[in-house]
A and B are shown apart, each in its own frame.
Chain A
């Protein structure tokens, strides 16, 4: 890792964005990062717990831009519904990697031992190579890659990191406020103010 102008270590930030599942949303986010000079280390997108909403996990190199600006600029996109910085949260981060590593009858065993240490699965085996599947945080995957390098990595594919907070806390989007007020109203038999809701709309 290199030092930035202030002599401080660049910080990796894990930003989660809940976005409308609409055509072009990926381009909007990618375009924003490009234009503002924010560096994406990895980006993973998939469905969220709500139909119509996708969840993006973006690993941002904080040296390029203050992460607060990244979050605020993301929020300005109309298709972005929620943004959370999980960097200082107690969160699980996971990435999946597939590695096709060269091997032969002599060293195959060694390689399997390495895979065992990293709890990587062997998902394919051929005479000259095998495919390992590893799941873990970036450090673990980087460690496995380093160990496999001497054998020759023929192909590497990483999904990018996805992340989730541990415990009760979530990065989720609640249903619309009026509906929720109506529901609480029904269950409690009285009118509630939006301040009483377990979430806020802004």
Chain B
């Protein structure tokens, strides 16, 4: 055993957990930790420009690579700035360890300078959190934090450490074993339930799989493909499940939900057996719960037992790790030909094409995303913000593998795009990463442009500049009688802004300029920004109005198709 300071123990543990990158921002109480950082040259510290960016970068890092992201902030305002990013990670179940400093132990609870009860604040938005009161407890807390963050249903774990605990010395001992008696995720599905699930599916005429984020995090794509192919079952995904099943596979029918494909929503509504895999029957995906396909038998496979029966009555629950459950289930499925059902969905798709991009002289974001898909041959990683551009990025790019679409689905956090793209680029340096930004969302975190420069990251930044809080404008147009209030947003000259950071930038105003700009961006070594001045009033279709059922999906009205 060696005597080490709390700071040294923390960094040693991070290193042992395989964390080679910390996204952070210093401040008073974490100075002892920063003072120690140079002793650990294998750990790369990325200096962000706002702690929210640090959390989103850690999240983007995790989503792109499957590894646990780490972010760090000082007490008080530093810590509270992380909150949006932690909540974003929590609602999408991504593995993150957020570390904060706090005031010295003797000052805790005294409302001193920069004290915030940050563990009290993060408690409902973390999978678990720690306030570590002694240096000798740091190793166990960090060990547990990583274990909890990345096992079972992943999620963010927060570790708060008072300043003097960083300075305190203790014997360092790496805990070989964990004793978390209250945390034992179920991994293996119940054999009886798997049998019942198989019986339900085997008896089905019109089964459908709805695959979610759990397939991505459970790394169960191959298992899902094998299952679907064996039993000839069409697969749709949730928005976060995109890429969990290859979208160019003949059994892939896109994603469902509020802006899902018409045929996917209809298929979910028409199926006799709905098999939810690694998903949580969220309202944005399922529409009004009370009217979701009342005739369907619901089979639900998920690692989190609390999701089962939470929103919809489940006939067959299977709690377990999808990677282990799917092969067991597939083994019991009969090889079947379900072409009548597949042809039915094909027919709906042909009659109600959701992904057809109309001929128009206007520059519309759908064309840009599709052009990007074709140019990159589907191999890029897209990190999006929240709003219309997010939905188009989900619809018009086709993702053949997981971890290619990085987006805040659950919390819907504007400003996620740029920092998430930065985190992804750092995690997967060889990937071609595009930040697909809203003009408004970009302005929430654009200060992180500086990180692209500092770290020489070749992130390609594409702003879908419609001059509006586009998605909100769409709702005001459709549901608030075109009473447009506070949705037109002024922007800086994004090209000049990029130039101020020394980042090259292009402006695109016509269709003809799209391809050359994409090509130029791809050929550029380093960050580059493209300001796409797109049509201002384009709406996202199809759409399930808030509170409506999937069966009530509305398609683009004729007058919009004629624009």
A40 to B120, CA, bound (A): 20
Report how many residues on chain A are interfacial, defined by Cβ distance under 8 Å. Answer: 25
B186 pairs with A202, CB closer than 8 A? yes
Query: B483 contacts the other chain (Cβ, under 8 Å)?
Result: no
| A69-B310, A75-B305, A75-B306 given; A24·B119 CB < 8 A | yes
How far, in whole Å, are A66 and B186 apart by their CA atoms in the complex?
22
- Is B522 among interface residues, defined by CB-CB distance under 8 A? no
Q: How far is the CA of A192 from the CA of B212 in the complex (A)?
A: 39
Q: Which residues of the other chain, A, contact B182 by a CB distance below 8 angstroms?
A: 19-20, 77-81
A152 to chain B, nearest CB (A): 40
**B131 at interface by CB-CB < 8 Å:** yes
> Are the CB atoms of A31 and B181 closer together than 8 Å?
no
Contact A78 B306 (CB under 8 A): no
List CB contacts (< 8 Å) of B158-203 with chain A.
179-184, 186
**Does B123 interact with chain A (Cβ within 8 Å)?**
yes
Is there an interface contact between A72 and B305, defined as CB atoms closer than 8 Å?
A: yes
Proximity string of chain B (302-331) to chain A, C-beta cutoff 8 Å, 1 when within and 0 when not = 001110111000000000000000000000
Q: How far is the CB of A24 from chain B (nearest CB, A)?
A: 7
Q: Is A194 on the interface with B (CB-CB < 8 A)?
A: no
Q: Does A142 contact B (CB under 8 A)?
A: no
A-side contacts of B123, CB under 8 Å: 24, 27-28, 31
Instruction: Report whether A68 and B309 are in contact in the complex, using a CB–CB cutoff of 8 Å.
Output: yes
Residue among A20, A72, A78 facing the most chain B CB atoms (10 A cut-off): A78
Q: Is residue A191 contacting chain B, with contact meaning CB distance below 8 A?
A: no
Indicate if A169 sits at the interface (CB-CB under 8 A): no
Cβ-neighbour of A81 out of B120, B181, B309 (below 8 A): B181
Residues in B with CB closer than 8 Å to A202 are 184, 186
Residue B295 lies at the interface, judged by CB distance under 8 Å to chain A: no
A183 to B68, CA, bound (A): 38
In the complex, chain A residues whose CB is within 8 Å of the CB of B179? 176
| A residues in contact with B309, CB < 8 Å | 66, 68-69
Query: Would you call B148 an interface residue if the criterion is a C-beta within 8 Å of the partner chain's C-beta atoms?
Result: yes
Q: B180 near A27 (CB under 8 angstroms)?
A: no
Q: In angstroms, how far is the closest chain A Cβ from the Cβ of B127?
A: 7
Residues of B near A190 (CB, < 8 A) are none
Contact B306 A201, beta carbon cutoff 8 Å: no
Residues in B neighbouring A81, C-beta threshold 8 A: 181-182
Contacts of A27 in B (CB 8 A): 120, 123
A78-B131 contact in complex given A27-B120, A31-B124, A69-B306, C-beta closer than 8 Å: no
A-side contacts of B183, CB under 8 Å: 78
| Alpha-carbon gap, A73 to B127, bound state (A) | 12
Say if the beta carbon of A166 comes within 8 Å of chain B: no
Q: Chain A interface (Cβ within 8 Å of chain B)?
A: 19-20, 23-24, 27-28, 31-32, 35, 66, 68-69, 72-73, 75-81, 173, 176, 201-202
Interchain residue pairs A-B with the least CB separation, the first 9: A72-B306, A81-B182, A78-B128, A78-B183, A81-B181, A80-B182, A78-B182, A72-B305, A73-B306
Residues of B within 8 A of A (CB): 119-120, 123-124, 127-128, 131, 148, 179-184, 186, 304-306, 308-310
9 contacts between A and B (CB under 8 A): A20-B182, A27-B120, A31-B124, A32-B124, A66-B309, A69-B309, A76-B306, A78-B148, A202-B186
